[in-house]
Structure 1
Amino acid sequence: MTSMEAESVATIVCTSKQTRFNIGTPNYRELDIEGLNIIVKSGSKSGAKGKAKAKSEGTKILSNAKLRLKAGQRYALIGRNGTGKSTLLKAVAEKLIPGLPEETRITILQQTDVGDVNADEGPVPTPSEGEGPVVLEEVIERATAKQEVQKEIDILLRGVDGGDPFGALRAFRKVHHGRLQKELFLKDKDASLRSGTRGMQARKALITMEKKVAEFQSEYERKDEDITPETLAKETSEAADMLADLQLQVEPSKLAETESKAKKILTGLGFTESRMAQRVSSLSGGWKMRTALAAALLQDTDILILDEPTNFLDLLGIIWLQRHLTALAESSDPPTLILVSHDRDFISLCTDLLIIKDMDLTYFHGDLPTYEASRAEKKAHLTKMKDAQDKQKEHIQQTIQRNMREGKAKDDQNKIRQAKSRQKKLDDRWGMEVNAKGGRFKLNRDLVGYHLTARAEIDIPQDERPVSFALPDPPELRFPGALISLEKVSFRYARDAKAPVVLKDIDISVSMGDRIGILGLNGSGKSTLIKLLVEETRPSAGTATKHPRLKLGYYAQHAVEALQEMGQVDTEMTALGLLMGENGSELDEGEIRGLLGSLGLPGRLASDVPVRRLSGGQLVRLELARILRRRPHCLVLDEATTHLDYETVAALREALRGWQGAVVLVSHDRWFVRGVVEGIVGDDGEESEEDDRGGDAGGMRRRLVCRLKAGAMSVLEGGVSEFEEGVERRVRKMESS
């Protein structure tokens, strides 16, 4: 085996093991990488000395891991925030991992820091007259490289139709020269990534390619009078053939088919005809992400990587994408999918789990609920087995000690030999009673290796420290009444009576202990309703009132972006410093530290690390701490799960289910809404009875799932499932049209 390594300008260093033997034509939709190590450096270094230093000083993401992907399978990559999911995906997408063939076509949609991602409200802007392509053109170009193909066609057309007898030859050589330069770049990159035997082979290939380019360069620069008639005829014919092949790629019928596919994908992701005609440069961050997602879905690829693709989609887009990826997987030659998402309902489309934990990769064939149940069952079984063995071992040890005492006292060698024999059994043959396949352990079959003298101890898998949220209880209100109340409220953007109505005749009241979920597609008015509830805006008609002693906690959709901006303005500001410096807190420094620690920002992470260096998930925790330090009576949460890993989403869901205050929730995460609002405990639809007591009088919680549609609000008796079924019907109608 030989070790190979790669260094990225993005400070990612990868090493892996590769066999020297030729194993035939690779399947580009599969990966089989042994001994994978990934280190992220704090800064770029050059030279061998710099590389060695980087390996020792960098942050290790993976250590001697196996990366094995089967063709056509759908993998959900799961792991806590900070374990290196995005780094691993980047290493795969940029082909930094030795052993990953350069010919593999990999398409990736990465998480991107964006500014204005709110596409929920307001009219669609008219297409901009600015520079840059419109959405539809951008998607087609990214997927087909149409402009590059057209550029080569234009070069050949000018040569063939120019009337110069040498024009076609020169055009052919110009296109061929450009292609050779690209191939030389790839060979050079391949050689720089490898070491050992494979590195030597790559460098030989590079030298061969450099000679090929140099030889062609002399032909490319040869004067017309030095070109033989045979060469002229041959390359003129080759120019015509190349032109015909390129024109097939951009022929109207093929382009029309590609455009039709692009429009279908864009429509599924929420684009109207007018928005497809907008300049990409004029779009908000959320719509730019959807444009990038559409381009990724349109491409022909071997490995498709989607990192949090649902972050800026409403439920219509999420369900459409779920169905689209499932249909893609059922095609004749599907790409291999790697998906990262905190949305448990969405990742149910995956066939396998790829788990990154403790700098290693493990695999599970099945969905997340089955994996969690399997782990719990295995842990319970091994715990029971170990407890039984421990009791048996203690009994045997007592027998050994008694026999040794009696044997020595009476000089009974039989008892002494019996005691020593039993002690040897404890030392050498005590441990697992089942083998790796689940059958009964046999010493001569399952204890392989001359260096092994004893069975392995029963190893009970240790869970990571569970993610938990400690929500402070709200203070007493002193007198009863609704916390927030909207009566016959309507809203329009302008005071002019002719302006379109965004919300009309809204009636809603929020009392202590209530759980209210607000569902709706983009443009239905959810964000406007939230702003009315938190008094960021006033109604155009109707009455909005609140309890005089109400303390409100509001998590805004753009909270993370706002904290990032604050961190850029004050580069030394820490989480602890931010909370200590804000007014309105009922907590002292020790209590604030405790709150930050309970939310996943303990010790020095809270007091020493600047806010600008915190991850998206850590910024969500910081914003929750800012809200909770005031001990609110009511939490209004607008898409609070974005940026969080699935374990943290589950912990937040659990904390909110039993909290004594009121919760008003806007989210496209169906599993999260079911748990918080409807009180569903697990993935099997079982409802909780333990957390249903709440409110001032200790009565049953009021649980409402409301739908906003065209500015009007209604209560869904069937809850989230009723809304989901309605959206699925709409998606099916879109697909059939």
Structure 2
Amino acid sequence: MTSMEAESVATIVCTSKQTRFNIGTPNYRELDIEGLNIIVKSGSKPGVKGKAKAKSEGTEILSNAKLRLKAGQRYALIGRNGTGKSTLLKAVAEKLIPGIPEETRITILQQTDVGDANADEGPISTPSEGEGPAVLEDVIERATAKQEVQKEIDILSRGVDGGDPFDALRAVRKVHHGRLQKELFLKDKDARLRSGARGMQARKALITMEKKVTEFQSQYEQKDEDIPPETLAKETSEAADMLADLQLQVEPSKLAETESKAKKILTGLGFTESRIAQRVSSLSGGWKMRTALAAALLQDTDILILDEPTNFLDLLGIIWLQRHLIALAESSDPPTLILVSHDRDFISLCTDLLIIKDKDLTYFHGDLPTYEASRAEKKAYLTKMKDAQDKQKEHIQQTIQRNMREGKAKDDQNKIRQAKSRQKKLDDRWGMEVNAKGGRFKLNRDLVGYHLTARAEIDIPQNERPVSFTLPDPSELRFPGALISLEKVSFRYTRDAKAPVVLKDIDISVSMGDRIGILGLNGSGKSTLIKLLVEETRPSSGTATKHPRLKLGYYAQHAVEMLQKMGREDPQMTALGLLMGENDDGLDEGEIRGLLGSLGLPGRLASDVPVRRLSGGQLVRLELARILRRRPHCLVLDEATTHLDYETVAALREALRDWEGAVVLVSHDRWFVRGVVEGVGGDDGEEREEDGRGAGAGAGGAAGGLRRRLVCRLRAGAMSVLEGGVSEFEEGVERRVRKMESS
């Protein structure tokens, strides 16, 4: 990277409190860092000087926070989009935070902008003849650096077996030279990334390393006649010892064990034998992400960081990964896990919550439903306490005023003193009656500091501005009938009658108010069925019909990637500009602004921020606005939750559950499907009052006002209704995972 390029990129600046004392041998699987501050600065600009000005230009992510991770625990990192989750993970992974030991092994899987993220259906391509490693080779190399070790073995073998007495010495020096160059590159990278005191230390380390490399360079270029016999003997022996150590790392039994483990992980993540044999370069974005996940799981590490690992997995892969991480945690020396996921069922594997909010980190031992219930209970308790105290305070103030009036009128000093004493109590000793631990409040224990005489006010935690979605009601249909109907529909990729059938004998109708969930593993035909429903393709046989006045809203799986591409092609395009340009429904600017605002893109965010700068969650909202602008009667949603945080997923779930139109949903998020399709009201597991589940997939619309709820399974191109809903599908997948694990 050139200096100009280095200045143009964002820099993460981390500071923290550090002790000067030796506190014993560190546990590399634990972190305990006080006073953590993280600021993200854009590229430096000419003419900007001074610490205050530099700080003001950055975006503050954390301020005086405490980062505390206990060895072997499993942390779910939660927080709204934009709070800095990815920045924090990057700062930990790259050890930018002072206090993280350099020896700590940290493995991270980060989400990247990948196109064609889930080409899961259609024929599997044959292994590419292009360059690059096959999947298995790539995973093993990433996890073990096998090729690097083998390269050093080859150098040393040629030296030790060479006929020239100086060959072994030259070989060992060549290996040392390569290692020093690699270490110099890493030191240089650290010096570029770090700033402040940490940056000064990194630059000093770089200078020391540069001197070491320079000194070794003269030794590396030393002529044979200048090498003393004792040096020759010493380094020849060193070459033999180094070769033996390296050969132990790649001995067949150890490599076979690693390869077996890698294959097991890849199989669990959905790779078939043919796909394992493919070149990584020939894979789609989703399969490349799974390859990276497999490499992360294969590595020996102290801290394992997984950022949205389920985005490109089907339920089989999700449940396998869930069980794998739990088994890993139950091993003899488990890594510490930090997990980010919008899938509430998946993060139930975590033991603790790490919450990033208001530039601070807070912790909760337990799962997300328990945390939300605890917050609600605490708020209700404090509200009740404050209401009671407010009434008591009002009564005391009235008594004080009455006593002061009567005392002054009758010159009664006792009443005046009594009134002043009560006023002093209100001023100095009014407030919390219990401490943070729930015990009785004591001033000398719970309010430290001689200058503080008053108790803290009862502070009722304020809910963040709730995430909400307001879905416009569907336009009028004018006459009844099924919105979409497929009768005895089959589909092949070609017209050849001998071609494999992707879908066969599909019967399904969608009427107003219906909630239909389509579940299935990758390759079962879900994407093909969706394309038939939205008329992107036609059936090979059978009949597909739709209501003549139907307005259909289709959220495609790659909608966010498509919007990002549009934003790159037109850098000035905004959300408002995009909708105004596509406006064929006669909406004025005020109505479009209102729609964007109701979906979480208000004001200047809609009109001033370019689409290319919107986050993944904001792009989901924009795509929903494009769909809902026409007031559709039916929404077909294909993995609409991928880029959303868990609170936004919950808001969308709530909005879709009560919307008047029909919803056809494809999603691997079990909690989301349970809420939207089955009508489960929340984490209490209660269902809504209306329940039309049980009507056949080809049955008509809701009768008697009941909403029809169907959970359908696609398997090998055939569709069936699951009477047991999502739970039945989940149980079947779990049985399959257990069978995979036992084989």
Q: C-alpha offsets along residues 537-577 of structure 1, whole Å, 9 cap, x if unaligned?
A: 11000000111111111101111111111111221111111
Matched position secondary structure for 2:68: strand
Secondary structure of 1:717's counterpart equals coil
Per the alignment, residue 707 of structure 1 pairs with: 713
Report if aligned partners of 2:93, 2:108 keep a CA contact under 8 Å in 1: yes
Cα-to-partner distance string for 1:146-199 (whole Å, 9 max, x where unaligned): 111111111111111111101101111121222234344555666677788877
Deviation at 1:217, TM superposition (A): 3.4
Preserved CA contact (<8 Å) 1:39 1:60: yes
CA distance in 1, matches of 2:97, 2:573: 37
Please tell me whether the aligned partners of residues 13 and 195 of structure 2 are also in contact (alpha carbons under 8 angstroms): no
Bigger drift between 444-453 and 333-342 goes to 444-453
Asked if the contact 1:670–1:720 (Cα under 8 Å) also holds between the matched residues in 2, the reply is yes
What's the TM-score once normalised by structure 1's chain length? 0.96
CA distance 1:57–1:206, shift in 2 (3 Å): closer
Residue matched to 1:359: 359
Change (3 A) 1:10 1:433: same
Alpha-carbon separation, structure 1, partners of 2:206 and 2:723: 67
Specify the alignment match of 1:631 in structure 2: 631
Cα shift at 1:588: 2.6
Change (3 A) 1:8 1:353: farther
Does the 8 A contact of 1:4 with 1:193 survive in 2?
no
Task: Assess, with a 3 A threshold, how the Cα gap between structure 1 residues 85 and 546 changes in structure 2: closer, same or farther.
Answer: same
Quote the Cα distance in structure 1 between the aligned partners of 2:599 and 2:132. Answer: 43
Distance in 1 separating the partners of 2:290 and 2:475: 43
1:6–1:14 contact (8 Å) kept in structure 2: no
CA 1:107–1:685 in structure 2 vs 1: closer, same or farther (change >3 Å)?
A: same
Change (3 A) 1:190 1:634: closer
Q: 1:449-468 counterparts in 2 under 5 A?
A: 449-468=449-468
Task: Give how far 1:268 is off.
Answer: 0.5
1:9-46: CA deviation from partner (whole Å, max 9, x where unpaired): 54222222211112122111111121111112232459
**Does the C-alpha gap of structure 1 residues 233 and 3 become closer, same or farther in structure 2, counting only changes over 3 Å?**
closer
Post-superposition Cα deviations, 1:335-366, rounded to whole Å, max 9, x if no partner, equal: 11110000000000001101111111111111
Once the 2 structures are TM-superposed, how far is the Cα of residue 716 of structure 1 from its aligned partner? Answer: 0.3
Stretch of structure 1 that moved more, 603-612 or 197-206: 197-206
Distance 1:147 1:29 in 2: 28
> C-alpha distance in 1, partners of 2:153/2:50?
45
Change (3 A) 1:430 1:233: same
Change (3 A) 1:9 1:94: farther
Shift of the 68–47 alpha-carbon distance from structure 1 to 2, 3 Å rule, reads: farther
Does the 8 A contact of 2:28 with 2:302 survive in 1?
yes
String of CA shifts for 1:51-74, please: whole Å, max 9, x gaps. Answer: 654321111111111111111111
Percent identity, please.
94
Provide the alpha-carbon RMSD of the alignment. 3.1
CA distance in 2, matches of 1:386, 1:2: 60
Q: Are the counterparts in 2 of residues 72 and 335 from structure 1 also a CA contact under 8 Å?
A: yes
Distance 2:6 2:332 in 1: 34
> Deviation at 1:219?
2.8
| Pair 1:8–1:317, CA change in 2 (3 A) | farther
User: Is the CA contact (8 Å cut-off) linking 1:302 and 1:335 kept in structure 2?
Assistant: yes
Aligned match of 2:239:
239
Match of 1:44 in 2: 44
| C-alpha contact (below 8 Å) 1:506/1:713 kept by paired residues | yes
Measure the CA separation in 2 of the matches of 1:264 and 1:63.
Answer: 43
Q: Given the superposition, is the C-alpha separation of residues 190 and 588 from structure 1 closer, same or farther in structure 2, using an over 3 Å criterion?
A: closer
Please say which of residues 62-71 and 239-248 is displaced more in the overlay. 62-71
Aligned to 2:723: 717
CA contact (8 A) 1:6 1:98 kept: no
Q: Deviations for 1:94-132, whole angstroms, at most 9, x for unmatched residues?
A: 111122122211111111111112233101100011111
Query: Secondary structure of 2:122's partner?
Result: coil
Check whether the contact 1:574–1:610 (CA below 8 A) recurs between aligned residues: yes
SS in 2 for 1:49: coil
- Deviation sequence 1:228-284 (CA, Å, 0-9, x none): 222211111111000010011111111111111111111011111111111111111
| Conserved? CA contact 1:305–1:339, under 8 Å | yes
Given that residues 98 and 193 in structure 1 are in contact (C-alpha distance below 8 angstroms), is that contact kept between their aligned partners in structure 2?
no
In structure 1, distance between residues paired with 2:75 and 2:97: 19
For the residues of structure 2 that align with 1:266 and 1:2, how far apart are their CA atoms?
Answer: 38
Worse overlay, 19-28 or 430-439: 19-28
SS of the aligned residue for 1:39 comes to strand
Q: Describe the shift of the 1:283–1:697 C-alpha distance in structure 2 as closer, same or farther (beyond 3 A).
A: same
SS of the residue aligned with 1:568? helix
Equivalent residue for 2:495? 495
What's the CA shift string for 1:402-436, capped at 9, x where partnerless?
A: 10111111111111111000000000000000012
What's the TM-score, normalizing by structure 2?
A: 0.95
For the 8 Å contact 2:13–2:194, the answer to whether it is kept is no
Question: Contact (CA 8 Å) 1:705, 1:720: kept in 2 or not?
Answer: yes
Looking at structure 2, the residues matched to 23 and 72 of structure 1 have their Cα atoms a distance apart, in angstroms, of 21
Counterparts in 2 of 1:663 and 1:339: CA distance versus 1, 3 Å: same
Task: Tell me which residue corresponds to 2:305.
Answer: 305
SS at match of 2:115: coil
Quickly say closer, same or farther: Cα 1:191–1:601, change in 2 above 3 A: closer
Q: How many angstroms does 1:220 deviate by? A: 2.5
Number of matched pairs:
737
User: For residues 489-522 of structure 1, what are the alpha-carbon distances to aligned partners after superposition, in whole Å with 9 as ceiling and x for unaligned?
Assistant: 0000101111110000000000111100000000
Question: Would the alpha carbon gap of residues 402 and 90 (structure 1) be closer, same or farther in structure 2, given more than 3 Å must change?
Answer: same
Q: Displacement of 1:674 after TM fit?
A: 0.3
Q: Report Cα offsets for 1:259-316 as digits up to 9, x if no partner.
A: 1111111101111111111111111111111111111111111111111000010000
8 Å contact from structure 2 (residues 48, 54) kept in 1: no
Distance 1:57 1:203, change over 3 A: closer
Summarize the Cα distance change of 1:504–1:197 in structure 2 as closer, same or farther, 3 Å threshold: closer
Q: Could you give the per-residue CA deviations for residues 351-384 of structure 1, whole angstroms, max 9, x where no partner exists? A: 1101111111111111000000000000000000
Q: Is the 8 A contact 1:120 1:526 kept in 2?
A: no
Aligned-partner Cα distance in 2 for 1:372–1:132: 48
In the alignment, is the contact (CA less than 8 A) between 1:4 and 1:194 conserved in 2? no
3-state SS in 2 of match to 1:398? helix
Q: 8 Å contact 1:309–1:341 — kept in the other structure? A: yes
1:350 matched to 2:360: no
Does the 8 A contact of 1:5 with 1:14 survive in 2?
A: no
- Which stretch of structure 1 is more off in the superposition, 395-404 or 584-593? 584-593
User: CA separation in 2, counterparts of 1:209 and 1:58?
Assistant: 31
CA contact (8 A) 1:404 1:415 kept: yes
Q: Go from structure 1 to structure 2 and tell me whether the alpha carbon gap of 1:205 and 1:550 turns closer, same or farther (over 3 Å shift).
A: closer
Contact 2:73/2:351 (8 A) holds in 1 = yes
Indicate conservation of the 8 Å contact 1:75/1:354, yes or no. Answer: yes
What is the rounded CA distance, in whole Å, between the counterparts of 1:350 and 1:586 in structure 2?
49
User: CA, structure 1 residues 32+4, in 2 after alignment: closer, same or farther (shift >3 Å)?
Assistant: farther
Q: Distance in 2 between matches of 1:710 and 1:586?
A: 44
Three-state SS of the structure 2 residue aligned to 1:5 is helix
> Would you say 1:333 and 2:333 are equivalent positions?
yes
What CA deviation, in whole Å up to 9, does each residue of 1:429-478 have, x standing for no partner?
00000012110112233222112111000000011000011111112211
